Chains A and B, each alone.
Chain A
Amino acid sequence: MELKDKILSSYVAFENDMDMNSDIHEIRTKALENFEKLGFPTKKLEEWKYTSLNAVLKNDYSIFPNKEVFVDLADVKKYFIHDIDSYKVVFIDGKYNSFLSETTHETIDVCLMSAALTKPKYKIVIENYFNKIAKKDNLTSLNTAFAKEGAYIYIPKNVEVQKPIQIVHFTSGAEIATMMQPRNLIVVEENAHIQIIERHQSLNSNAVLSNVVTEVFVGRNATVDYYKIQNDNLNASLVDNTFIEQKTNSEVAVHTFSFGGNITRNNLNFYQRGEHINSILKGITIIEEKQHVDHHTLVHHIEPNCESHQDYKGIFDERSTGVFNGKVIVAKEAQKTNAYQQNNNILISDKSSVNAKPQLEIFADDVKCSHGCTVGQLDSDALFYMQQRGIPKKEGKALLMYAFANTVLDSVKIPEVKSRITKLIAQKLKVNIGFDL
């Protein structure tokens, strides 16, 4: 049976476990119809021209992994930023794991989507926010149809959350192939501040396809500092659909670090609904073998006097491939917009490639929009300089790549995250330099 048919036929069993009279059920059913109509994306779609899911979709995924899996903290500790005090919302095969988690209901809610979707206490927030900005495209619809579990974070106004929140979705690999539909909702009210670290990690080499949807609502004067660490094993693929709505004077930064995985597709969408908003989108991609990372960003400037800054760096070795598609829409009303976009790539191997496409649609006439895109090799003069100082070629190359990616690391605000990322970079570049990169 084709995966699509398998998914459609499994919906009946899924909805039997749900409250069929709820509003959510209606949303889910509509989303399923949408997915049934649209199917999985193919390369015929402009948005998926350079990323093919065909090979990944051939796996015989289990849609609802059911085996009870025990995970030892010692085995998974390394996937957390464990040297900081933090809240944690942890899932294994889509099920909440209380042992690894540290949730809270004091002042703020850091808990579970399954609770938020069913308990009366959360009804108003869910009514106001759930599925309000998620697109109605094929994969987002698929996620919405099966939306059931994930992180639910609600920060009321004027609260500065003192410790970062880690959202970690593990896949145990107990099944030959596992498909996941994690659904996260994050609401940050006026003048509230949070930091989030998100990770998807499979625990063995069995195939995984995670199709994640995260909606983030950011009130006036609020700030969100969001880090996505993508360093999964080579049989795990990820489609990350993130939708962020910002109100006046808010600032949101999303840093995406893509080092692992088979196929990784990041659909990162910003909607600016207010003035003096700042949206920051940054990423470092370092991949090899036949890995593929696709960044599709959208910043929709809807109102005047807002800014957006994009800075994506990619390093591609062996047969790896990359895509950067940066779409910026400046609405007619969005005068005095300042939109900046930078995408730089280094191809280490002759067989690696990258497709980069800035896509600016500007309908206002008094704006500052710039974009720059480069695809090149490591600077041989710079490498010679390193070698002349006694630094071997391999380490010299690593230092240059680190320097190249540094503009992205510069704005990482959590030191422990920064040092973890630099360690991952050193690991990925297979070097051990005398200091923490």
Chain B
Amino acid sequence: MILKINNLHSEVAGKSILKGLNIEVKAGEVHAIMGPNGAGKSTLANIIAGKEDYEVTQGTIELNGEDISELSPEERAHAGVFLSFQYPVEIPGVSVTNFIKTAINETRKARGLEDMPAKDMLQKIREKSELLEIDRKFLSRSLNEGFSGGEKKRNEIFQMAMLEPKLAILDETDSGLDIDALRIVANGVNKLKSKDNAVIVITHYQRLLDYIIPDFVHVLYDGKIVKSGDASLALELEAKGYDWIKQELENLV
């Protein structure tokens, strides 16, 4: 089991966002989390990654069987959590290469390893940038500074490829992407998938799921997973919207 979330409740600024969320993600699986705006999708992503503004009031988050809910964001990253940001941050004066080198070596340091030899680093950068069709010049530019929406997302997936996480969470990675960029990004994610890692795709639309085929689709609504199914659920949501789910829930009550 890569990720196990049990009865998760959370608040931000006194407002309750997640209200008893459960999810289990096994190695080798791709899960999609869909849902209307304000359902708590991005909150879930940020909470798994450990953002401090969110308070977990109840429940547990386990990564590989270990409770990570008290760990700092960097400790979770070192344990293998990766979050592809909806809005990656611009860092002028620090190149993509230097940033990723720092990220990798800090992670290695935390795991008790020596810095990655420069030659291996270079080789890895070359390999992964080819995978994502990233130009050499791009790597020496300041991180995200002046990048187009598509370049930012591609750069996020490039970092994911370099860091090789156990659990990758893609938060609205498809937003702001044209169809070519979407294909490159999805292709990258698919190639990085293995029997040892897992991917959670958070998205509002079906579009990305045409390229990254999920094993499970969950509907997050009002802070809870209210429905789960296979890839066909995403198609149903795309066709019918979310109202029928709301209706179903009300009928239940």
Contacts and interface: CB of A to CB of B under 8 A. Distances in A.
Is B one of A's binding partners? yes
Interface stretch (B31-39, B49-57, B202-210, B224-232): B49-57
A314 B65 CA distance: 45
Interface stretch (B3-11, B15-23, B73-81, B240-248): B73-81
B178 to A, nearest CB: 24
Interface in B58-77: 72-74, 76-77
B89 A380 contact: no
Contacts of A385: 85, 88-89
A435 B92 contact: no
Contacts of A392: 74, 106
Interface string A367-398: 00000000000011110111111111101100
A390 B103 contact: yes
Contacts of B142: 406
A435 B101 contact: yes
Given A399-B94, A409-B93, A388 B102 contact: no
A71 interface: no
Nearest to B49: A388
A390 B77 contact: yes
A403 interface: yes
B94 A389 contact: no
A24 to B, nearest CB: 46
Given A380-B53, A403-B93, A407-B92, A434 B115 contact: yes
A125 interface: no
A80 interface: no
Contacts of A386: 89
Interface in A13-61: none
Contacts of A396: 74
Nearest to A400: B91
B173 interface: no
A390 B90 CA distance: 17
A384 B52 contact: yes
A407 to B, nearest CB: 7
A433 interface: yes
Contacts of B99: 389, 399
A396 B81 CA distance: 17
B42 interface: no
A11 interface: no
Main secondary structure of the interface of A (DSSP, over half): helix
A402 interface: yes
B129 interface: no
Contacts of A390: 74, 77-78, 103-104, 106-107, 110, 163
Given A385-B85, A407-B92, A434 B102 contact: yes
A391 B74 contact: yes
Contacts of B52: 380, 384
A433 B102 contact: yes
A384 B51 contact: yes
A403 B91 contact: yes
A375 to B, nearest CB: 20
B77 A389 contact: yes
B73 A384 contact: yes
A389 B163 contact: yes
Nearest to A399: B94
B175 interface: no
Contacts of B115: 434
Contacts of A435: 98, 101-102
Contact of A434 (B53, B83, B101): B101
B43 interface: no
A389 B103 contact: yes
Q: Considering residues B81, B105, B110, which has the most beta carbons from chain A within 10 angstroms of its beta carbon?
A: B105
A406 B49 CA distance: 29
6 contacts: A390-B77, A393-B74, A396-B74, A409-B93, A434-B106, A434-B115
Given A388-B82, A389-B99, A392-B74, 16 more contacts: A382-B91, A385-B89, A386-B89, A389-B77, A390-B74, A390-B104, A390-B106, A390-B107, A390-B110, A391-B74, A395-B106, A396-B74, A402-B94, A403-B91, A406-B93, A435-B98
Interface of B: 49-53, 72-74, 76-78, 81-83, 85, 88-94, 98-99, 101-107, 110, 115, 142, 159, 163
Interface of A: 379-382, 384-393, 395-396, 399-400, 402-403, 406-407, 409-410, 433-435
